[in-house]
């Protein structure tokens, strides 16, 4: 629980102070290493709302794909416990 709160706080701070191309890999890593990482999808949607253009919400779509691929990849990666 503490790890998740720290990770959420770091990702929110990175979304506020760092460019999107640094926050996007953090969201993907969160989806890979944490179970049911809904916060990543919400954070990507907020980043798209604040910094995105009027076209497709690319970061939100990528976060949804990472969220769906996370459990499949977790099963296949040997080093994940």
Give the model confidence (pLDDT) of 47-74 as tens digits.
888 887 667 787 788 888 888 888 887 7
Question: What does the alpha-carbon distance between residue 70 and residue 17 come to, in Å, rounded to a whole number?
Answer: 26
The sign one gets for the Cα dihedral 10, 16, 18, 24 is positive
Report pTM: 0.73
Residue 64 contacts residue 53 (beta carbons within 8 Å): no
Residue whose structure tokens are 């459990």: 71
For residue 61 the two structure tokens come to 């779509």
Question: What does the alpha-carbon distance between residue 63 and residue 25 come to, in Å, rounded to a whole number?
Answer: 10
pLDDT at 13: 93
């Amino acid at each position: 629980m503490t790890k998740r709160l720290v990770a959420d706080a770091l990702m929110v701070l990175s979304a506020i102070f760092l460019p999107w191309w640094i926050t996007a890999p953090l969201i993907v890593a969160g989806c890979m290493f944490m179970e049911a990482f809904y916060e990543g999808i919400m954070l990507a949607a907020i980043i798209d709302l604040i910094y995105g253009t009027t076209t497709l919400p690319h970061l939100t779509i990528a976060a949804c794909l990472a969220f769906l691929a996370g459990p499949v990849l977790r099963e296949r990666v040997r080093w994940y416990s």
